[in-house]
């Protein structure tokens, strides 16, 4: 028995030693950041510079690691257990999860903080749609550095000024392209959330925020005429033979790369497209975009990428100080000039190929979040809606069947959920 006690005691001491590690407090300010960007990505280089400057000017000890998309899988669990970095990367789509897990706290104090040397507050440099896309039910959730949106992309060297204003004009362009022996649209059809860009952009573009998300909430919403109308437009695309052969069997990124090579005229995609296909672009290719001619409210998608403060981290105040520091124009400009993205600050011009998107975002009277936040009910979205949309876009079902099935399955989902 005495030996048993000894064994237990050793075990207990071991556990106590494990727990001890975190209790040490140091006098010097410190700040840690674990990034989902890979070290070689331009964003990582920009962020590294900001941290280096921050360390130099404030004497803070910074610990910055770039682990990439796949190195951060357990981040939420780590942060919830009180480990994890002070700052981390996040996007519009993650706000609800982070809020539910109480990993992000209130940021209103930060909104009114001055950006060093500019005489402006955080709130003043971030346009309203950008702040909205970075907010959850408790207000601002994180500080965005990049705006993302969706558009139809084309080569302005081939089709200068292409910007159809109505659905008819859009279809006329597709028909003309087909008649000239070209393939109008390249689509990576194995990616369901790229296939849904058509239905989503048309429906939410015309009917505004909430018009897609509401389909998950009540089967009766499927009866609204706008749903059938949008489905008929997608059916028209499917039946028109505008996509490349066997597009539903095309593995990403073959279609977008072929588009960049000039094999197809159009590709509907996010604002990340241009930097993804950069190495594949045919000589003289001038990337440009137009908004899906949805008509109606002409709502524009605004999503953001940014830095969040770990509410359970040890250095919340320093992390917020860093965020105000990072929003300085000289840094935010680099997200446009070096990372070739649209910076979150309204006063930083976007790269030339994204000027159309930035203009649309800043001039938008109505905006909506990426995918209208319809993915929040993930079973509905991933198991029901996206597969149903795949069948519509691939021509397996028509618009009427799409609406009928959607209504029926939403009712089933809500009953068993």
Partner 1 sequence: MKTYERAFWPFLLPALLVYTLLFVAPSLFGIWVSFTRWSGPGSEMAWRGLDNYVALLHNEVFATAFTNTFVMAIVGGALIFGFTFLSMVVLRQLKGRAFIRAVVFLPMVISIIAIGAAVGFLLNPEGAVNTVLEWSGLDPQPWLGPEMVFRCIVGGLVWSSTGFYVALMMSAADAIPAHVYEDAQLIGATKWEQFRHITLPLTWDVFAVSAVLWVVGSLKIFDIVLAFTTAGTAAAPPIPARTIAVQQFIVVKGAGLPDLGSAAAMGVMTLLVTAVLIVLTRRITRRDRVELS
Question: What are the residues binding partner 1 (CB under 8 A)?
Answer: 3-4, 7-8, 11, 73, 76-77, 79-81, 93, 96-97, 100-103, 189-194, 244-254, 258, 312, 371, 375-379, 381-384, 386-387, 390, 394, 412, 416-417
* CB 379, min distance to partner 1, A: 7
64 versus 309: smaller Cβ distance to partner 1? 309
Tokens of residue 161, six digits:
């000024």
191 versus 238: smaller Cβ distance to partner 1? 191
In terms of DSSP bridges, do strands 135-136 and 139-140 run parallel, antiparallel, or are they unpaired? antiparallel
111 versus 188: smaller Cβ distance to partner 1? 188
* CB 175, min distance to partner 1, A: 23
* CB 147, min distance to partner 1, A: 19
**What residues have CB less than 8 Å from 168, skipping those under 6 apart?**
none
* CB 276, min distance to partner 1, A: 10
The tokens 């909506």 sit on which residue? 368
Residues 380 and 413: beta-carbon distance below 8 Å: yes
170 versus 259: smaller Cβ distance to partner 1? 259
Direct distance between the N- and C-terminal alpha carbons of the chain, in angstroms, rounded to an integer: 53
371 versus 402: smaller Cβ distance to partner 1? 371
Nearest 5°: the CA angle 339, 342, 344 is 110
* CB 77, min distance to partner 1, A: 5
Helix 399-416, helix 225-239: angle, nearest 10: 130
Residues 197 and 269: beta-carbon distance below 8 Å: yes
Phi and psi angles of residue 168, each rounded to the nearest 5 degrees, phi first: -65, -45
The tokens 């960049």 sit on which residue? 260
Q: How far apart are CA 380 and CA 386, in angstroms?
A: 9
Tokens of residue 411, six digits:
């009712």
270 versus 306: smaller Cβ distance to partner 1? 270
Residues 241 and 184: beta-carbon distance below 8 Å: no
* CB 38, min distance to partner 1, A: 13
28 versus 416: smaller Cβ distance to partner 1? 416
Residues 250 and 191: beta-carbon distance below 8 Å: no
Residues 391 and 397: beta-carbon distance below 8 Å: yes
* CB 73, min distance to partner 1, A: 8
Q: How far apart are CA 150 and CA 170, in angstroms?
A: 17
Tokens of residue 307, six digits:
């830095």
* CB 18, min distance to partner 1, A: 12
Residues 370 and 344: beta-carbon distance below 8 Å: no
In terms of DSSP bridges, do strands 143-148 and 303-309 run parallel, antiparallel, or are they unpaired? antiparallel
* CB 270, min distance to partner 1, A: 11
56 versus 251: smaller Cβ distance to partner 1? 251
81 versus 400: smaller Cβ distance to partner 1? 81
Residues 350 and 274: beta-carbon distance below 8 Å: no
75 versus 360: smaller Cβ distance to partner 1? 75
* CB 107, min distance to partner 1, A: 18
Q: How far apart are CA 233 and CA 170, in angstroms?
A: 11
The tokens 């936040």 sit on which residue? 373
């Amino acid at each position: 028995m005495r030996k048993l006690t000894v064994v237990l005691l050793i075990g207990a001491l071991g556990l106590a030693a494990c727990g001890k590690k975190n209790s040490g407090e140091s006098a010097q300010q410190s700040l840690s950041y674990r990034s989902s960007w890979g070290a070689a990505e331009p964003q990582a280089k920009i962020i590294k510079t900001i941290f280096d400057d921050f360390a130099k000017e404030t004497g803070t000890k910074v610990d910055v690691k770039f682990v990439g998309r796949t190195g951060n899988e357990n981040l939420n669990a780590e942060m919830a257990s009180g480990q994890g970095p002070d700052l981390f990367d996040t996007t519009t789509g993650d706000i609800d999860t982070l809020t539910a897990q109480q990993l992000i706290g209130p940021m209103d104090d930060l909104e009114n903080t001055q950006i060093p040397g500019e005489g402006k507050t955080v709130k003043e440099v971030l346009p309203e749609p950008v702040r909205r896309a970075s907010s959850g039910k408790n207000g601002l959730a994180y500080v965005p550095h990049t705006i993302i949106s969706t558009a139809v992309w084309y080569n302005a060297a081939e089709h200068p000024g292409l910007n159809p204003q109505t659905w008819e004009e859009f279809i006329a362009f597709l028909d003309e392209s087909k008649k000239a022996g070209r393939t109008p649209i390249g689509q990576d059809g194995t990616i369901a959330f790229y296939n849904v860009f058509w239905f989503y952009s048309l429906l939410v573009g015309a009917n505004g925020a909430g018009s897609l998300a509401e389909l998950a909430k009540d089967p009766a919403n499927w009866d609204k005429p706008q749903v059938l109308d949008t489905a008929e437009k997608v059916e028209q695309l499917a039946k028109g033979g505008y996509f490349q052969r066997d597009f539903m069997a095309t593995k990403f990124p073959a279609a977008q790369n072929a588009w960049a090579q000039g094999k197809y005229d159009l590709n509907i995609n996010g604002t990340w497209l241009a930097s993804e296909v950069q190495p594949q672009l045919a000589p003289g290719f001038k990337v440009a975009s137009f908004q899906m001619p949805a008509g109606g409210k002409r709502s524009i998608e605004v999503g953001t990428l940014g830095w969040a403060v770990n509410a359970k981290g040890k250095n919340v105040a320093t992390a917020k100080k860093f965020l105000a520091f990072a929003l300085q124009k000289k840094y935010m400009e680099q997200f446009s000039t070096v990372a070739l993205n649209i910076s979150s600050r309204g006063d930083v011009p976007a790269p030339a190929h994204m000027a159309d998107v930035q203009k649309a975002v800043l001039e938008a009277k109505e905006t909506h979040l990426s995918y209208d936040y319809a993915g929040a009910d993930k079973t509905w979205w991933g198991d029901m809606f996206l597969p149903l949309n795949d069948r519509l876009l691939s021509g397996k079902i028509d618009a009427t069947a799409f609406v009928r099935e959607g209504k029926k399955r939403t009712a089933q989902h809500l009953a068993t959920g």
